[in-house]
Amino acid sequence: MKEKTLQTCSLEEWKFSIAHDFHLTIEVQHNPYKIPHHRLFSMAARKNLNRRFLFVSKILGKHIPVPPSISLLGGAALAAAHLETVYGKKTALMPAIIEAIIQGKNCEETYQLMKKNPFSLPEPTIFIGFAETATALGHAVFDCFSHGGTYIHTTRERIPEMESLISFEEEHSHATSHRYYSIDENLLKSSNPIVLIDDEITTGKTALNFITAIQEKYPRKDYVVASLLDWRSEEDRQRFRFTASQLGVGIQTVSLISGRIRVEESVNRELAKTRFSTNKKEVLSYEPQVNIQKLYFDDLFSNKLPFSSINALGEKNETPYLLETGRFGITSKDKNTIDEAAKAIGSALGKMRKGKNTLCLGTGEFMYLPMRIAAHMGEGVMYHSTTRSPIFPERKENYAVQNAFSFESPDDPEIINYLYNIPYGYYDDLYLFFERETKLDGLRPLVEVLKKLGIFHLYFVFCLGRKNI
């Protein structure tokens, strides 16, 4: 992907040639923290006719492996930006947080300093992260505040014992339906402002769909849409203003960088529909002998919720969920359990490492706890996650996805999951984290992929026990 810098008046533009028939020009209009755009994201081509491009975050820990503390600081930066934009309150740590993100240095030290000096919320606030990509980002934002916050994330999972209190659509996505399950049905009945958190917004339609759905059942006065990147056009911004006026609410936006994008394309529909396949350059003719171990840490989490899930085949997984993931709602008082469990598990796993380079992988929506655990495992640890997002891989300079692997989801064989950017033979150890246990048959497609990565020591880490399996 070629990237060209253009100068337009006082603004900078970057043109990305994502594919032979697809080009994107980005104009950064507001960058209050002076973060170089290439430090926050790169570009890739999505296998989706509704939106063919993808901003691939370099700090999110989803598609690109990153030191876990970088992702956690991304949440801290967005939390501080929220205080500054919405309440006019600057935080003393923001310059250090931004510098650590830009330089990629002193990230863990800066994050620990923030943990010791959490921010103060001016009023009780409900933080909601969007599944699947922003579950960890939303949790990281919430975690930066000492008290007064509640966190919950949307989900694509189906919980038969519960009713989704709010359902809405993400129109451009590969998986459009979002659900909202809460163990506290009174949470949305409050008048507290809601902060919706996503990694980036291109049009903002998903956020407006959610706000409209909430307002119909649980009306309030104030909403905030917070994202690392904001690329809404003037038409999109007008839609925000119109929706706010129609609903009689205030909708503020917060981001680290905002601007505009221009797309030039001639859609090659056959290319866009091509079935995703493993990058064959990464698959060798032999497989290493892999040491696979299953590790359980259910004793460190006391809050287990007796809900099951049901997949597209109608099969149930009756293993309990963890409260601490945030998918059913948590408050500030739950943070201590997360801190203690992450430190204990991270310390134990760190002692098991066999080499200098270790990869920790979250799975799907289960991102934040693995990220926090990985941050306690020592130097040389990188973190990212499996994903539902289908992306074209290509080996070229500055392109965000250099290689790719696909497999059936361990929880639902009807859903294809993906792994990106894992160079063959680079890592000595790989730790794969699961929120709940899944049957061995469901793990086999993923295991076959992992065995071809040239990593000899493979660990499956279950944060919950083996009930009904």
Q: Mean of the pLDDT values across residues 228-240? A: 97
* pLDDT over 70, % of the chain: 89
Closest CA to 249 of 221, 224, 207: 221
Closest CA to 150 of 114, 112, 197, 117: 197
Q: Mean of the pLDDT values across residues 57-82? A: 97
Rounded Cα distance between 327 and 436, Å, is: 13
Q: Which of 9-23, 26-40, 107-121, 411-425 has the lowest mean pLDDT?
A: 9-23
Q: Which residue has the higher pLDDT, 450 or 20?
A: 450
Mean pLDDT value across the chain: 88
Closest CA to 402 of 174, 63, 57, 134: 63
Closest CA to 74 of 148, 125, 129: 129
DSSP designation for 164? -
Asked if 224 and 193 touch (Cβ cutoff 8 Å), the reply is: yes
Q: Which of 29-33, 95-99, 182-186, 339-343 has the lowest mean pLDDT?
A: 182-186
Q: Mean of the pLDDT values across residues 267-279? A: 49
Strand partners, 11: 8
Residue 32, pLDDT above cutoff 90? yes
Task: Enter the tokens of residue 282.
Answer: 């990464």
Give the pLDDT band of residue 276 (cuts 50, 70, 90).
very low
pLDDT of residue 409: 94
Residue 321 has, within 13 A of its CA and on its CB side, a CA count of 21
Give the pLDDT band of residue 268 (cuts 50, 70, 90).
low
pLDDT of residue 270: 56
Task: Enter the tokens of residue 425.
Answer: 């033979």
Residue 7, pLDDT above cutoff 60? no
Cα angle 21, 22, 23; round to 5: 130
Asked if 436 and 321 touch (Cβ cutoff 8 Å), the reply is: yes
Closest CA to 255 of 221, 299, 225, 212: 225
Closest CA to 386 of 70, 173, 135: 135
Rounded Cα distance between 126 and 150, Å, is: 5
Q: Within a 10 A sphere around the Cβ of 362, how many other Cβ atoms?
A: 26
Of 49-53, 135-139, 174-178, where does the model show the most confidence? Answer: 135-139
Q: Which residue segments constitute the domains of the chain, with CATH numbers given?
A: 68-260 (3.40.50.2020), 277-315+333-462 (3.40.50)
User: Hey, is 277 helix, strand or coil?
Assistant: coil
pLDDT of residue 15: 84
Q: Which residue has the higher pLDDT, 77 or 178?
A: 77
Look at phi and psi of residue 235 and say left if phi exceeds 0, alpha if psi is from -120 to 50, else beta: alpha
pLDDT digits (tens, 9 = 90+) for 166-221: 887 655 444 457 899 999 988 999 999 999 999 999 999 999 999 999 999 999 99
* Number of helices (H), then strands (E), in the chain: 11, 25
Q: Mean of the pLDDT values across residues 255-280? A: 67
Task: Enter the tokens of residue 337.
Answer: 């359990």
**Side chain identity at 133, as an amino acid letter?**
T
DSSP designation for 176? -
**Side chain identity at 141, as an amino acid letter?**
V
Q: Which of 46-55, 185-194, 309-318 has the lowest mean pLDDT?
A: 46-55
Closest CA to 278 of 427, 411, 419: 419
**Side chain identity at 54, as an amino acid letter?**
L
Torsion angle (degrees, nearest 10) of CA 253, 45, 264, 261: 20
Residue 315, pLDDT above cutoff 60? yes
Q: Which residue has the higher pLDDT, 35 or 5?
A: 35
Q: Mean of the pLDDT values across residues 25-42? A: 94
Residue with tokens 């002692």: 351
Q: Which of 231-245, 357-371, 417-431, 445-459 has the lowest mean pLDDT?
A: 445-459
pLDDT of residue 385: 97
Closest CA to 32 of 261, 229, 256: 256
Residue 226, pLDDT above cutoff 50? yes
